[in-house]
């Protein structure tokens, strides 16, 4: 593609050199540059892409998008924000894929992954040949792929949309994160419909405060062309959002009559809201109720989301991604519903290098909503696991146990469980590793739980 077409989408832009250059690919990582690429030098938290522009040129970049002119013998397009420039350039380069692909997005603090999977199932049942983009996995043309982040960078996102179309997909269910909104990854994505699930404390290490966090979500609904908006007004931020969107389709957890005749396989009352969000979006897109019913009923579980681990034991073991206060509270209340007069035992931690303010809140909720709370490591990253645990324990209103070794903590919880109890292993869901300061080790809560159950059976 001629560079002039891409430059026309980058306004304002100052071109140093002749723009009559053929661009064969786009890249923001110098290691991914191939001959003929246009390289975007993007400043980041840990590194500045301008420092790697020379490497990009050595690898064959024919032009650079930069925020300042560099002393390099190659055409340079100077823009105010090179990260923001990626989205319009990628949209044009990959042929404006979301003009053809019916994209249904889900945004909110909790419920994005489950709602996205439910929407994927409904779209499939309706014959709309969907792809999937989410925290757990991506699916392109029926092929499963791993994911690096919930919402890919703009170049990767537009590329995968084009790959979906080329592979025969005609729609896509995707999670739309607040980070992606702020970092311009979702610019130029044309959502056919967008679901707002809820908003509660999370990511404040990135957004700073709840108003900024809400604004990141709000902006997605105000983009042109306006998507069909489906909003959970049982949530206070959802009500604020709906007040600005007079045409929004609204729902609350109380609207259970809409699910009459549908046998949801997913456990947990919070999944009623997820199902209602998916149902309302599907109806807004003109999907018939028979396909909605078939799609919702086809989803038996979502990896790492209130997922049961069953080895024939006389109690329940649930693995859930709940790593924020509201999600933990919902999961523990759902576990209480299942436990009845029996006990709820929770294994809980908090990630390092993330919002520290939620740690004591997690400790309080675990101690108040579970009968036994065991505090352990999540992904400590560069922080001291003992310090993280201490901050969690500081919010507890009763006694909690501390076992920093996550395998041992899971084993402890399983070993304490009696018939009828519910063990909740919270925080990591279907993640496949545990991140420490100097390494990431293979770790899966579901595998650890299964091994603990097998060890318990061997002992008894």
pLDDT single digits (tens) 3-13: 999 999 997 77
Residues 68 and 104 reside in one and the same domain: no
Residues 118 and 60 reside in one and the same domain: no
Domain assignment present for residue 414? The answer is yes
pTM of the model: 0.92
pLDDT (average), residues 140-157: 92
Q: Which domain holds residue 207?
A: 97-298
Share of the chain above pLDDT 90, in %: 92
pLDDT single digits (tens) 323-362: 999 999 999 999 999 999 999 999 999 999 998 999 999 9
Domain assignment present for residue 416? The answer is yes
Residues 123 and 70 reside in one and the same domain: no
Residues 288 and 176 reside in one and the same domain: yes
Residues 266 and 246 reside in one and the same domain: yes
Residues 14 and 43 reside in one and the same domain: yes
Please tell me the total count of domains within the chain: 3
Residues 141 and 274 reside in one and the same domain: yes
Burial 418-438 (b: 16+ CB within 10 A, else e): eeebbbbbbbbbbbeebbbee
| 381 close to 435: Cβ distance less than 8 angstroms | yes
* Tokens 């579980």 -> residue: 301
Local confidence band at 204 (pLDDT 50, 70, 90 cut-offs): confident
State the pLDDT at residue 202. Answer: 79
- Residue 181 backbone phi and psi in degrees, to 5: -65, -50
Is residue 205 predicted with pLDDT exceeding 80? Answer: no
Local confidence band at 460 (pLDDT 50, 70, 90 cut-offs): confident
Is residue 398 predicted with pLDDT exceeding 90? Answer: no
* Tokens 């352990």 -> residue: 376
Total residue count of the chain as it appears in this document: 460
Write the CATH number for 226: 3.40.1190.10
pLDDT single digits (tens) 240-265: 999 999 999 999 999 999 999 999 99
Q: Which of 115-124, 237-246, 264-273, 410-419 has the lowest mean pLDDT?
A: 264-273
Domain assignment present for residue 89? The answer is no
What is the residue-wise DSSP string for 19-83? ---B--EEESSGGG--TTEEEE--B-SS-BGGGGHHHHHHTT-SEEEESS--SSSSEEEEES-HH
pLDDT (average), residues 375-386: 97
* Tokens 């065991």 -> residue: 374
Question: Which of the 8 DSSP states describes residue 182?
Answer: H
Q: How far apart are CA 137 and CA 150, in angstroms?
A: 9
Domain assignment present for residue 88? The answer is no
Q: How far apart are CA 202 and CA 215, in angstroms?
A: 14
- Cα angle: 435, vertex 436, 441; to 5 degrees: 55
Q: How far apart are CA 373 and CA 362, in angstroms?
A: 11
Residues 322 and 399 reside in one and the same domain: yes
- Please say which residue of 22, 52, 82 terminates a domain: 82
Residues 15 and 32 reside in one and the same domain: yes
| 305 close to 114: Cβ distance less than 8 angstroms | yes
Domain assignment present for residue 90? The answer is no
pLDDT (average), residues 10-21: 85
Residues 246 and 105 reside in one and the same domain: yes
Residues 78 and 104 reside in one and the same domain: no
Write the CATH number for 54: 3.40.1390.10
- In the structure encoding, which two tokens stand for residue 96, read together? 């404006």
pLDDT single digits (tens) 421-432: 999 999 999 999
pLDDT single digits (tens) 289-329: 999 999 999 999 999 999 999 999 999 999 999 999 999 99
- Please say which residue of 248, 270, 298 terminates a domain: 298
Q: How far apart are CA 32 and CA 29, in angstroms?
A: 5
Q: How far apart are CA 150 and CA 343, in angstroms?
A: 34
pLDDT single digits (tens) 55-96: 999 999 999 999 999 999 999 999 999 999 999 999 999 999
Local confidence band at 146 (pLDDT 50, 70, 90 cut-offs): confident
């Amino acid at each position: 593609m001629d560079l002039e077409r891409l430059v026309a989408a980058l306004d304002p832009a100052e071109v140093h050199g002749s723009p009559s250059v053929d661009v064969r690919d786009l890249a923001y990582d110098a290691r991914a540059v191939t001959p003929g690429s246009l390289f975007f030098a993007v400043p980041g938290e840990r590194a500045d892409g301008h420092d790697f522009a020379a490497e990009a040129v050595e690898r064959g970049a024919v032009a650079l998008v930069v925020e300042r002119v560099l002393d390099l013998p190659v055409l340079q397009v100077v823009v105010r924000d090179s990260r923001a420039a990626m989205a319009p350039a990628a949209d044009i380069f990959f042929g404006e894929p979301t003009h053809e692909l019916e994209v249904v997005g889900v945004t909110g603090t909790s419920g994005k992954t489950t709602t996205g999977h439910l929407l994927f199932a409904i779209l499939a049942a309706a014959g709309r040949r969907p792809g999937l983009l989410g925290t757990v996995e991506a699916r392109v043309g029926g092929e499963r792929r791993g994911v690096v982040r919930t919402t890919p960078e703009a170049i990767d996102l537009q590329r995968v949309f084009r790959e979906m179309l080329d592979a025969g997909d005609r729609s896509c269910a995707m999670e739309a994160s607040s980070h992606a909104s702020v970092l311009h990854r979702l610019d130029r994505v044309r959502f056919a419909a967008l679901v707002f699930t809820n908003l509660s404390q999370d990511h404040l290490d990135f957004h700073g405060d709840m108003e900024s966090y809400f604004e990141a979500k709000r902006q997605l609904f105000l983009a042109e062309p306006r998507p069909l908006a489906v909003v959970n007004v049982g949530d206070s931020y959802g009500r604020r959002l709906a007040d600005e969107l007079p045409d929004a389709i609204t729902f609350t957890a109380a609207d259970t009559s809409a699910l009459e005749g549908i046998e949801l396989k997913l456990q947990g009352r919070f999944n009623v809201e997820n199902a209602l969000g998916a149902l309302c979006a599907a109806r807004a897109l003109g999907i018939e109720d028979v396909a909605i019913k078939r799609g919702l009923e086809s989803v038996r579980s979502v990896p790492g989301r209130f997922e049961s681990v069953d080895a024939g034991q006389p109690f329940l073991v649930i693995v859930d991604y709940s790593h924020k206060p509201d999600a933990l509270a919902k999961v523990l209340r759902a576990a209480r519903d299942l436990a009845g007069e029996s006990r709820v035992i929770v294994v809980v931690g908090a990630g390092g290098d993330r919002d520290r303010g939620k740690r004591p809140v997690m400790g309080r909720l675990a101690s108040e909503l579970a009968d036994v709370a065991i505090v352990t490591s999540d992904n400590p990253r560069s922080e001291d696991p003992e310090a993280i645990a201490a901050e969690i324990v500081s919010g507890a209103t009763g006694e909690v146990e501390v076992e920093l070794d996550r395998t041992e903590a899971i084993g402890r919880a399983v070993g304490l469980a009696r018939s009828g109890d519910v063990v909740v292993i919270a925080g990591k869901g279907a993640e496949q590793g545990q991140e420490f300061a100097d390494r990431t080790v293979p770790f899966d809560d579901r595998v650890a739980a299964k091994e603990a159950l097998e060890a318990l059976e061997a002992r008894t």
